[in-house]
Amino acid sequence: MDSSGLRSENVYFEDRAERLLRELQAAHGVSRRRLLQLAAAGLPLLAGLGRRAAPARAQTIPTASPIVKPLPPEWFVNFGSNAEMRWDAAGELGDTIPNERFFVRNHTSTPPIDARSWRLRVFGSGLRGGCDDPGHAVQFSLDDLRRLPSRTRTAFIECAGNGRSYFASQQATPAAGTQWHLGAIGVARWRGVPLAEVLDRAGIRRGAVDILPAGLDANVVIAGIDHGHVRRPLPVEKALDDVLLAYEMNGQPLPADHGFPVRLVVPQWVGVASIKWLGQIEVADRPLYSPWNTTFYRLTGPTYAPDEPPITCQTVKSAFELARGAQLAAGRRHLLTGRSWSANAPIDNVEVSVDGGASWRRAGLHENDGAAWSRWSIPWRPATPGVHELRARATDAAGTTQPTAVPFNDGGYAFWAVVKHPVLVT
């Protein structure tokens, strides 16, 4: 081959590599810089360079980290297998949180899944002619789901432990687990198939009681005990109401860290119910159980009964879009902004205190337009230097107002008291 032919061939392969790089970015929600870093590390990202791959079919990128996407410290607090959104970086964002900015809650690590061979298996005694053997499951491919009627829903996903750190810092009752502040929440526009549609096509019977979705991430092992895949039952009433089998997030295929290729979205319920990397659903004519509704995600402790039911919904919370300990100039006007949300009803009003709760002023609510949380703002001109304690408390349309303290529970779940937010005025 002469030199001109060699140059042409090089250009051809450079163009193919460039196109494949863009496809990998679209498939996994990973930045171009991160892909090039992974390729330089020797990971087989560009295998199959000579054939075109559809973005929704690509396999997730292998990585030594429990989380695939980049976690720049200006956006996230990195807890290893979990990553918290920084509220002081959220003020620039709209009503939904972009995929690359969305918090991550993993019980183990993000698994590699090939969507081409992925199947959702639906089985159980709650189906017509069904049995408890997964080998006799009704199966759906990703293409099967995409051909079914779809629905788009804007909803928040919130970890049950969101706010856990405040049990220690505000109430002197520390709880084990990831020490979230308030950033274990995100709102996205989810598109997928109503779970009711899939259950109907699988042949759900009138006498069905519970469903048990299970993820494809690695088994969860705690203190030497293998609890199996993450799975948590849902009553059939909820499953048939508003639950989605989501395959898109904010108009893009689900990113790897957020459940690619399909996840559950269970509106208003704690995040563990929205199983990621969905692999199977058992439908039963009896109540179903797993460690995630018998051992974990229950309110236990001195003020709770032994038969306290598993947590389903979070309640009212508020967060400032401002760093804790932020420095603000005295004598100047500042616009304090934040967001409030409730799983039970829309936010009715938000009050803000700049003197540690001694006095309160009503904040202005922004146009909501169906968003899953309410954005608000209030002006403040601090006169005196020193440490000031900001507080925000919301009341939802059901009349529930954030309290000053909440009872302790062993898991550190459902902290919804008013959060003390110190700032330094200079």
At residue 47, does pLDDT exceed 50? no
At residue 163, does pLDDT exceed 90? yes
> 41-50, 83-92, 334-343: lowest mean pLDDT where?
41-50
The pLDDT, as a whole number, for residue 43 is 35
76 lies in a domain?
no
**Dihedral, CA of residue 8, residue 12, residue 13 and residue 16, to nearest 10:** 170
119 and 41, same domain (yes or no): no
> 21-30, 226-235, 281-290, 308-317: lowest mean pLDDT where?
21-30
The pLDDT, as a whole number, for residue 122 is 97
The pLDDT, as a whole number, for residue 20 is 39
88 lies in a domain?
no
Show the tokens assigned to 177: 């687990």
Show the tokens assigned to 282: 């058992």
At residue 319, does pLDDT exceed 70? yes
The Cα 133–Cα 118 span in angstroms is: 19
CB neighbour list of residue 187: distance below 8 Å, 6 or more residues apart:
95, 96, 97, 154, 155, 156, 371, 372, 373
More confident of the two residues 38 and 106: 106
280 and 157, same domain (yes or no): yes
Domain total in the chain: 3
pLDDT band with cut points at 50, 70 and 90 for residue 64: low
What's 381's domain CATH number?
Answer: 2.60.40.650
SS (H, E, C) 159-220: CCCCCCHHHHHCCCCCCCCCCCCCCCEEEEEEEEEEHHHHHHHHCECCCCCEEEEEECCCCC
Global pTM reads 0.84
Phi, psi (5° rounding) for residue 138? -80, 130
> 23-37, 133-147, 237-251, 281-295: lowest mean pLDDT where?
23-37
360 lies in a domain?
yes
283 lies in a domain?
yes
- Bridge partners (DSSP) of residue 156 are 187
The Cα 373–Cα 316 span in angstroms is: 10
Quote the percentage of the chain above a pLDDT of 90.
81
Nearest to 167 by CA among 423, 422, 413, 424: 413
Give the mean pLDDT of 104-131.
96
Nearest-10 crossing angle of helices 32-40, 3-28: 120
User: Which residue, 260, 294, 328, sits at the end of a domain?
Assistant: 294
329 and 264, same domain (yes or no): no
Question: H-type helices in 29-103, by residue range?
Answer: 32-40
- Bridge partners (DSSP) of residue 386 are 425
87 lies in a domain?
no
14 lies in a domain?
yes
Quote the percentage of the chain above a pLDDT of 70.
85
pLDDT band with cut points at 50, 70 and 90 for residue 35: very low
C-beta separation of 372 from 358 below 8 A: no
pLDDT band with cut points at 50, 70 and 90 for residue 97: very high
More confident of the two residues 367 and 265: 265
Give the mean pLDDT of 306-315.
92
C-beta separation of 296 from 220 below 8 A: no
352 and 395, same domain (yes or no): yes
353 and 256, same domain (yes or no): no
pLDDT band with cut points at 50, 70 and 90 for residue 402: very high
380 and 282, same domain (yes or no): no
Structural domain of 248: 105-294
> 16-20, 127-131, 160-164, 194-198: lowest mean pLDDT where?
16-20
Taking only the tens place, the pLDDT of each residue in 230-240 is: 999 999 999 99
The Cα 39–Cα 326 span in angstroms is: 39
199 and 131, same domain (yes or no): yes
More confident of the two residues 129 and 72: 72
The pLDDT, as a whole number, for residue 132 is 82
Give the mean pLDDT of 411-425.
98
324 and 413, same domain (yes or no): yes
pLDDT band with cut points at 50, 70 and 90 for residue 367: confident
At residue 19, does pLDDT exceed 70? no
Taking only the tens place, the pLDDT of each residue in 175-227 is: 999 999 999 999 999 999 999 999 999 999 999 999 999 999 999 999 999 99
pLDDT band with cut points at 50, 70 and 90 for residue 131: confident
The pLDDT, as a whole number, for residue 312 is 96
What's 141's domain CATH number?
Answer: 3.90.420.10
Q: What is the DSSP letter of 273?
A: G
Q: Over the chain, what is the mean pLDDT?
A: 88
C-beta separation of 278 from 120 below 8 A: yes
The Cα 109–Cα 277 span in angstroms is: 11
164 and 40, same domain (yes or no): no
40 and 155, same domain (yes or no): no
Parallel/antiparallel/unpaired status of strands 361-362 and 347-353: antiparallel
83 lies in a domain?
no
358 and 284, same domain (yes or no): no
Phi, psi (5° rounding) for residue 136? -110, 35
The pLDDT, as a whole number, for residue 87 is 98
The Cα 117–Cα 423 span in angstroms is: 52
336 and 275, same domain (yes or no): no
142 lies in a domain?
yes
Nearest to 290 by CA among 268, 275, 306, 305: 275
